[in-house]
Amino acid sequence: EDQVTQSPEALRLQEGESSSLNCSYTVSGLRGLFWYRQDPGKGPEFLFTLYSAGEEKEKERLKATLTKKESFLHITAPKPEDSATYLCAVVNAGNNRKLIWGLGTSLAVNP
Amino acid sequence: DTGVSQNPRHKITKRGQNVTFRCDPISEHNRLYWYRQTLGQGPEFLTYFQNEAQLEKSRLLSDRFSAERPKGSFSTLEIQRTEQGDSAMYLCASSRTGESIQYFGAGTRLSVL
């Protein structure tokens, strides 16, 4: 069964303290892996799509990487405004319409 | 591109009442999705439309839930005889045909008293 596991569940950082969030997946033929950011009371906001092992994408202080088993979201020198829940989702080759979601990592960045 | 729009943002209702939510997708997006999300969980897939055709529906979806997309543009999600367990955030997303990236609206928060 396709599955996505995110760790840690929650992470508290000091401003400027870099760290990484993990998304490990088991899927029958990865079609794509997605990172979203979700603020409280709002819908998920698309960040990145990764399609093949070795691929990397960057946006401001965020960098997403992908291997055959997991993805990392690296946060460099975070700021308080980076505080949010970060969700990972995958799509398998058999059904490119259905996102399979992890439970998310709740990130808090203290000033 | 105005993004995915959902109305209302919040809905409070009494148990047993019917509620209806509306979603306006990004204009050029043929695909529209409904999800439900509770605290600490990822979004749970409810149903999916390609234009006006409802092509997939979660097996977990009760018969009290119905969704429509009559002209292939906006969509409505109706919940009949609401129960307290229906309290959740209801999210709508849209995408282009052939693309996997889904763009979400801000959601409708339903509270059933």
Q: What is the pLDDT along chain B (113 residues), one digit of tens a residue?
A: 579 999 999 999 999 999 999 999 999 899 999 999 999 899 999 999 999 999 989 987 889 999 999 988 999 999 999 999 999 999 999 999 888 899 999 999 999 99
CB pairs under 8 A between A and B: 56
Q: Rounded to an integer, what distance in angstroms lies between the CA atom of residue B104 and that of residue B18?
A: 24
Cis peptide bond upstream of A111, omega within 30: no
Which pLDDT value is given to residue B1? 54
Chain A residues 33-92 with CB within 8 Å of chain B: 34, 36, 41-46, 49, 87, 89, 91
* Stretch (H or E) spanning A39: none
Residue B109: which of A41, A46, A87 has the nearest Cβ? A41
Instruction: Render the burial of A39-53: b for 16+ CB within 10 Å, e for the rest.
Output: eeebbbeebbbbeee
